[in-house]
Amino acid sequence: MTTPGDAAARARTEVRQLAAAKGHPTDNARRVIERLEHAFVAGELQRTELLDQAIQDLQRVLAQADGQRLGGKSGEAARFILRAIVRRVDEA
């Protein structure tokens, strides 16, 4: 069920903006995850199974060893998963 209200609409808009922002997709992905987690805790959005799965997938992409730079395939995977999150955020 979609969470109603202005706070939910604002959270969805911010997630879309963060996902589409200029910059490296892995940096954008981290910001999207932070914003979504805040929205869940604040009650602005409700978790859905599909959105949770996409977040978990994105977190796996972002996992790295200390000092290792993410790029190439990680960036492309983050971009792909961010698109899925943007599609699913309307259901939250």
* Structural domain contains residue 1: no
Q: How many domains does the chain have?
A: 1
pLDDT digits (tens, 9 = 90+) for 62-74: 886 444 555 567 7
| Distance separating alpha carbons of residues 92 and 40, to the nearest angstrom | 9
Calculate ∠ Cα 28-69-73, nearest 5°.
70
| Distance separating alpha carbons of residues 22 and 10, to the nearest angstrom | 20
pLDDT of residue 65: 41
Q: What tokens appear for 84 in the block?
A: 């899925």
* Structural domain contains residue 47: yes
| Contact yes or no for 62/24 (Cβ under 8 A) | no
Instruction: Please state the pTM of the whole predicted model.
Output: 0.86
Range of the domain at 68: 6-91
* Structural domain contains residue 15: yes
* Structural domain contains residue 11: yes
Selected residue with higher pLDDT from 70 and 79? 79
Q: Which of 36, 79, 89 is nearest to 58 (CA)?
A: 79
